[in-house]
C-alpha cells in the first residue's frame, strides 16, 4: 500500500518533520510526499536517504512527488537507545563455575556496547554492586557504556551492606523507590 | 527603502547607502554616536535565554563597528491576552542580565500588543569618528577571521522540528548569547581594515557585502571555517532553514564553491545566523597575533578562514 503525504504550503522544517512521523508510523513500504518547493524537496529527499530509504523524485508542472521506499531493515528511524533496563543481581553470569561466570559477565557487558539498541539503564543490586566498585575488572566496559548514554545505577542499601559506598567507581547510587519505578516503567527488564 | 530619497548630512559617517550594520553620526571631531535597532521572534523555548540572545544580537552591530554601546531601549511586542506575563518578565530579566554583563544601561523602552511575541533593542553607542570600522575596506593580502562557529540556524531549525539533541541546542544557545564585546575590543587594539557581523545572510552573504562593488575578492578555505559538528549531522538529515536556500540563490552570481566540497558545507556557509560572530579583515601580519589574543581572551572558536585577493574582483571562491 502506498501512503500519501501532502506537505504543500508548509515551511521548513515541517515537511521533514511530517515525513519523519510518517516513516516512523510505517514498518515498510512506499511513502509519496508531495511538495511544491525545490528546496523543501531537497530537504525531504536528504532526510529519507539519511534514514536508509531509497528515494526517487518526479517533477511535473512545478510539483515534486518524492517516492520513498522504506525497507523493513531500515531501522535508523528508531532511536539508538531503547527504553529497556538490565537488572544485574550478581557479579557473575549464570550459576556454575565462578571463574567461567566472571568471564561470561565481562563478555556480556562488552557486547552490550555493540548492541543496537543499547539498554537505557543498568541496575546493579546485591552482589551486582561488586561490578561497579573498586576492584571490579569491568569498570572500563561500564564507563564506555555510560559515555554512550547508558545510565548506570547501584543499589545504595547493597553498597552500605558490603561497605562499598565510598568505593563506587562508575554510575550513581539509587534507592528502592527509583529501582521499582525503573522496573515498572521500562519497556522491558532483563534480569541477569 | 528602494526608490525613496537618501538623506544626506555632512556629519553622517555611515548612513544607509551600503548594507552597513549600524549608523554613525559625528557629534564633534572627537565623538560620534553609533545607532542600531533589531528585534525578532523567539528562536529558543526558554524566555530568559531568548532575552539574552536578543540583547547579544542587538549589541553586536555596535561591536562590529568598533563602537562602545552605552544605552539601550527595550522593544517589546507581546500577546497580552494569550500569554502569561511571567514569560515577558523572564525575557526582560534575561535581556537585563546581558546588558549588565555588557556594561550597557537600559534607559527605557516601548511595548505594543501583538499576536506574535517579539523582543529586541534599540542601542546607542559612542565611537571616535576616525576609528569607525566599516564593512568595506578589505585590502588584498588581508586575512579573514571569523570569531564564532556557524550552524546555529540549522540547529534552531531542528529545534523547531523537535529533532535536535539537547546538547546541540545548549551549545547553540551559549554561542548566540555570547557577546561580541571581547572580540571587538581585541580587534580594535590589533588594527583592522574592515568588519561586519555574521547574521541572517549567512557567512557568504555578509562576506559578499564586504566586497560588493569593490576592487577585491575573497578566497575562503572551507576546511578552516569553524562550525558545530551537530549542524553537519542535521544538515545531512535535511534540516536546513528556508533562509539558506534564499541566501544561496541571492548571491549565486558572486560565489563559486568548489564542487568537491560536500553539500553540508555549502549549507553551513549560507546558514542564517542569529547573533553570529564578527567577520574581520586585517593585514596578514596582524592576523596570527589577533587570533592568539582572541583564543587567550576566551573567543575559543575564532579561526582564520580565508584571505582577500585582487582577482577575481567582486567574487568569492570557496575551496
A79 inside 8 A of chain B by CB: no
The pLDDT confidence band at residue A129, using thresholds 50, 70 and 90, is very high
Residues of A whose CB is below 8 A from B43: none
Cβ distance B238 to A47 less than 8 Å, yes or no, reads yes
Q: Mean of the pLDDT values across residues A30-39?
A: 92
- Residue B205: enclosing H or E segment and its boundaries? helix B202-211
The pLDDT confidence band at residue B19, using thresholds 50, 70 and 90, is confident
**Residue A77: predicted pLDDT:** 41
Q: What is the CA radius of gyration of chain A?
A: 23
Exposed / middle / buried, residue B90 (Cβ in 10 Å: 0-12, 13-18, 19+) = middle
3-state secondary structure of B136: coil
Cβ distance B239 to A47 less than 8 Å, yes or no, reads yes
Q: Mean of the pLDDT values across residues A56-70?
A: 92
Min Cα distance A107 → chain B (Å) is 31
A57-61, B15-19, B162-166: least confident range = B15-19
pLDDT at B254 over 50: yes
Q: Which tops the pLDDT comparison, A165 or B212?
A: B212
Query: CA–CA separation, B69 vs B103, rounded Å?
Result: 8
Q: Mean of the pLDDT values across residues B271-297?
A: 97
**Residue A62: predicted pLDDT:** 86
pLDDT at B296 over 90: yes
Cβ distance B241 to A13 less than 8 Å, yes or no, reads yes
**Residue B303: predicted pLDDT:** 98
pLDDT at B102 over 70: yes
Min Cα distance B166 → chain A (Å) is 13
**Residue B285: predicted pLDDT:** 96
**Residue B286: predicted pLDDT:** 96
**Residue B308: predicted pLDDT:** 98
DSSP A15-44: HHHHHHHHHHH-SSEEEEEEES-HHHHHHH
Cβ distance A13 to B245 less than 8 Å, yes or no, reads no
Query: Is the complex ipTM more than 0.85?
Result: no
Q: Active-site positions of A?
A: 12
Contact B197, B135 (CB under 8 A): no
Q: Which residue of B has its CA nearest to A17?
A: B161
Min Cα distance A44 → chain B (Å) is 6
The pLDDT confidence band at residue B77, using thresholds 50, 70 and 90, is very high
A149 inside 8 A of chain B by CB: no
Min Cα distance A40 → chain B (Å) is 8
Pick A43's closest partner by Cβ from B160, B162, B240: B240
**Residue A74: predicted pLDDT:** 44
Cβ distance A50 to B237 less than 8 Å, yes or no, reads yes
Min Cα distance B152 → chain A (Å) is 14
To probe the interface with A, which of B230, B238, B266 has the most A CB atoms within 10 Å? B238
A148 inside 8 A of chain B by CB: no
Pick A50's closest partner by Cβ from B162, B236, B245: B236
**Residue A27: predicted pLDDT:** 87
pLDDT at A79 over 50: no
* Phi/psi of residue B168, nearest 5 degrees: -70, -40
**Residue A12: predicted pLDDT:** 82
Contact residues for B40 (Cβ-Cβ < 8 A; gap 6+): B54, B57, B118, B119, B120, B274
- Preceding amide of B105 cis, omega within 30: no
Structure confidence by residue, pLDDT tens digits, B110-149:
999 999 999 999 999 999 999 999 999 999 999 999 999 9
**Residue A144: predicted pLDDT:** 87
**Residue B86 grid coordinates:** 511571567
Q: Which of residues 19-48 of A touch B (CB under 8 A)?
A: 20, 38-40, 42-48
The pLDDT confidence band at residue A126, using thresholds 50, 70 and 90, is very high
Residues paired with B75 in a beta bridge: B110, B120
A80 inside 8 A of chain B by CB: no
Amino acid at each position: 500500500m502506498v501512503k500519501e503525504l501532502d506537505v504543500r504550503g508548509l515551511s521548513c522544517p515541517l515537511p521533514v518533520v511530517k515525513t519523519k512521523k510518517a516513516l516512523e508510523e510505517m514498518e515498510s513500504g512506499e511513502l509519496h510526499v508531495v511538495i511544491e518547493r525545490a528546496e523543501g524537496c531537497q530537504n525531504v529527499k536528504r532526510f529519507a536517504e539519511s534514514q536508509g530509504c531509497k528515494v526517487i523524485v518526479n517533477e511535473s508542472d512545478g510539483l515534486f512527488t518524492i517516492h520513498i521506499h522504506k525497507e523493513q531493515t531500515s531501522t535508523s528511524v528508531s532511536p539508538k537507545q531503547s527504553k529497556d533496563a538490565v537488572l544485574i543481581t550478581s557479579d557473575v553470569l549464570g550459576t556454575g563455575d565462578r571463574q567461567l561466570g566472571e568471564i561470561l559477565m565481562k563478555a556480556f557487558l562488552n557486547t552490550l556496547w555493540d548492541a543496537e539498541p543499547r539498554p537505557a539503564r543498568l541496575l546493579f543490586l546485591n552482589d551486582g554492586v561488586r561490578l561497579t566498585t573498586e576492584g571490579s575488572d569491568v569498570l572500563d566496559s561500564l564507563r564506555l557504556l555510560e559515555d554512550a548514554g547508558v545510565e548506570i545505577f547501584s543499589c545504595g542499601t547493597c553498597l552500605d551492606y558490603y561497605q562499598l559506598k565510598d568505593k563506587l567507581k562508575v554510575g550513581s547510587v539509587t534507592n528502592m523507590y527509583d529501582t521499582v519505578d525503573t522496573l515498572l516503567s521500562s519497556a522491558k527488564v532483563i534480569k541477569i | 527603502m528602494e526608490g525613496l530619497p537618501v538623506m544626506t548630512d555632512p556629519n553622517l559617517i555611515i548612513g544607509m547607502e551600503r548594507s552597513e550594520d549600524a549608523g554613525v553620526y559625528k557629534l564633534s571631531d572627537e565623538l560620534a554616536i553609533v545607532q542600531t535597532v533589531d528585534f525578532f521572534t523567539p528562536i529558543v523555548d526558554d524566555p530568559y535565554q531568548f532575552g539574552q540572545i536578543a540583547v547579544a544580537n542587538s549589541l553586536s552591530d555596535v561591536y562590529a563597528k568598533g563602537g562602545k554601546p552605552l544605552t539601550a531601549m527595550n522593544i517589546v511586542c507581546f500577546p497580552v491576552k494569550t500569554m502569561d506575563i511571567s514569560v515577558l518578565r523572564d525575557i526582560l530579566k534575561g535581556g537585563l542580565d546581558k546588558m549588565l554583563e555588557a556594561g550597557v544601561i537600559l534607559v527605557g523602552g516601548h511595548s505594543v500588543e501583538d499576536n506574535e511575541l517579539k523582543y529586541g533593542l534599540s542601542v546607542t553607542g559612542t565611537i571616535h569618528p576616525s576609528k569607525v570600522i566599516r564593512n568595506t575596506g578589505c585590502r588584498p593580502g588581508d586575512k579573514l577571521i571569523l570569531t564564532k562557529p556557524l550552524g546555529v540556524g540549522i540547529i534552531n531549525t531542528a529545534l523547531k522540528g523537535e529533532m535536535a539533541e539537547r546538547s546541540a541546542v545548549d551549545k547553540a544557545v551559549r554561542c548566540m548569547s555570547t557577546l561580541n564585546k571581547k572580540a571587538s575590543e581585541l580587534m580594535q587594539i590589533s588594527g583592522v581594515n574592515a568588519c561586519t557581523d555574521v547574521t541572517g545572510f549567512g557567512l557568504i552573504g555578509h562576506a559578499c557585502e564586504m566586497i560588493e562593488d569593490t576592487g577585491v575578492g575573497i578566497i575562503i578555505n572551507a576546511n578552516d571555517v569553524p562550525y558545530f559538528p551537530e549542524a553537519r549531522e542535521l544538515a545531512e538529515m535535511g534540516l536546513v532553514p528556508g533562509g539558506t536556500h534564499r541566501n544561496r540563490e541571492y548571491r549565486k552570481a558572486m560565489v563559486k564553491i568548489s564542487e568537491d566540497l560536500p553539500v553540508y558545507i555549502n549549507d553551513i556557509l549560507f546558514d542564517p545566523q542569529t547573533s553570529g560572530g564578527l567577520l574581520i579583515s586585517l593585514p596578514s601580519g596582524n592576523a596570527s597575533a589577533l587570533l592568539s589574543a582572541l583564543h587567550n581572551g576566551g573567543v575559543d572558536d575564532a579561526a582564520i578562514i580565508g584571505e582577500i585577493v585582487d582577482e577575481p574582483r567582486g567574487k568569492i571562491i570557496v575551496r
